[in-house]
Amino acid sequence: MLPIYLASSSPRRKMLLEQLGLPFTVVPPDVEEEEHDGLPPRKLVEALAAKKARAVAPAISRGLVLAADTVVVFQDRVLGKPAGPREAAFMLSLLSGNEHEVYTGLAVMEKPSGRLVVTHECTRVRFRTLEEEEIARYVATGEPLDKAGAYAAQGLGAIFIAGIKGCYFNVVGLPLARLARVLREFGVDPLKCFLEK
């Protein structure tokens, strides 16, 4: 099996990839996640994921480089990681009582061939109505400050989610079903690898 390199410093993506039982090495990309004005969300996350994969690829001689990027979108407005507590509270007030989309771009690059597959996943999430006081308390925990859309579905933010349509793991940051399909394009089948251990 080709070695797998996760181009991410996210502990959530590391945890999700571990669920597949595949051995991998974490290689954080040295890139700025700047906004690409004018790009629709699906193209934005695909471009950022591809950028991360390309940033790590030169350090790899052989294997698969896996990268991802996640954004929250509310009424065509991209909500990345909040700049601070005030912006986090503002984002949560926007999401309160409403539906939004979570997009994750996924890029897998093979070395040394340079073959690159880029795709994305979209999940709809519905929040219950939040009280100002609970928004303030949640922001005070610090959890939303490094999360796209200012919440963590796998953490305390779960108490705000009234419903999800689509891939839950996409909301956490790595759509596992789509990833498995992409890996199979490169000859890596997680189930087969597990059984052959």
Distance between CA atoms of 197 and 192, rounded to whole angstroms? 9
37 is catalytic: no
- Tokens 């480089």 correspond to what residue? 65
What is the reported pLDDT for 34?
Answer: 60
pTM for the model stands at: 0.91
Residues 86-130 have pLDDT tens digits of 999 999 999 999 999 999 999 999 999 999 999 999 999 999 999
Structure tokens at 83: 């700049």
Residues 6+ apart with CB under 8 A from 172: 12, 16, 152, 153, 154
Class at the top of the CATH hierarchy for domain 4-195: alpha beta
**One of 30, 37, 69, 189 is an active-site residue; which one?**
69
Residues 143-179 have pLDDT tens digits of 999 888 999 999 999 999 999 999 999 999 999 999 9
**Arithmetic mean of pLDDT over the chain:** 92
Domain boundaries, the chain: 4-195
What is the reported pLDDT for 197?
Answer: 64
